[in-house]
Amino acid sequence: MKRSTVAWAVAAVAFAFLVLLVCAVALVFAPSGGVGPLGLGGRVGVVDVEGIILSADRFRETLGKFRTASNVKAVVVRINSPGGGVAASQELFSEIRRFRRETGKPVVVSMESVAASGGYYTAVAADHIVANQGTITGSIGVIMQWMNYGDLLEWAKIRAVTIKSGALKDSGNPTRPITDDERAYFEDLIKKLRAQFVEAVADGRKGKLKAGAMEKMADGRVVTGEEALALGLVDEIGDYRDAVDRAARMAHMSLPANVWHPRPMRPGLLELLFGGPSESTFAGRLLSGAPVGGGWNVFFLW
Q: What is the mean pLDDT of residues 141-161?
A: 89
Q: What is the pLDDT of residue 145?
A: 84
Range of the domain at 74: 40-143+196-301
Q: For all residues of the chain together, what is the average pLDDT? A: 83
Q: Tell whether 69 is covered by a domain.
A: yes
pLDDT over threshold 60, residue 173 = yes
pLDDT digits (tens, 9 = 90+) for 211-244: 999 999 989 999 999 999 999 999 999 999 999 9
pLDDT at 290 over 50: no
3-state SS class at 113: strand
Q: Look at residue 135 and tell me if it is in a domain.
A: yes
Residue 152 within any structural domain of the chain: no
Q: How many whole angstroms separate alpha carbon 98 and alpha carbon 110?
A: 19
If you average pLDDT over residues 188-201, what whole number do you get? 95
Span 67-87, average pLDDT: 96
Decide if pLDDT at 12 tops 60: no
Domain count, the chain: 1
C-alpha 255/C-alpha 42 separation (Å) is 11
Provide the residue type at 19 as one letter: V
Classify residue 161: in a domain, yes or no.
no
Residue 168 in any domain: the answer is: no
Has residue 61 been placed in a domain? yes
Quote the pTM value.
0.77
Q: CA–CA distance from 201 to each of 78, 125, 286, 298 (Å)?
A: 18, 8, 30, 19
| CA neighbor of 135 nearest in space, from 121, 120, 114 | 114
Per-residue burial over 252-273, b = 16 or more CB atoms within 10 Å of its CB, e = otherwise:
ebeeebbbbbeeeeeeeeeeee
Q: Give the pLDDT score at 77.
A: 98
Rounded distance, CA 163 to CA 137, Å?
43
Task: Round to whole Å and give the CA distance between 172 and 145.
Answer: 9
Fill in the DSSP letter of residue 34: S
What is the DSSP secondary structure assignment for residue 30, as one 8-state letter? P
Strand pairing partners for 260? Answer: 45
Has residue 243 been placed in a domain? Answer: yes
Alpha-carbon gap, residue 128 to 245, rounded angstroms? 12
Active site residues: 117, 169
What confidence score (pLDDT) does residue 285 get?
47
Considering the domain boundaries, does residue 231 fall inside one? yes
Q: Indicate which CATH number applies to the domain containing 65.
A: 3.90.226.10
Burial class (CB in 10 A: 0-12, 13-18, 19+), 93: buried
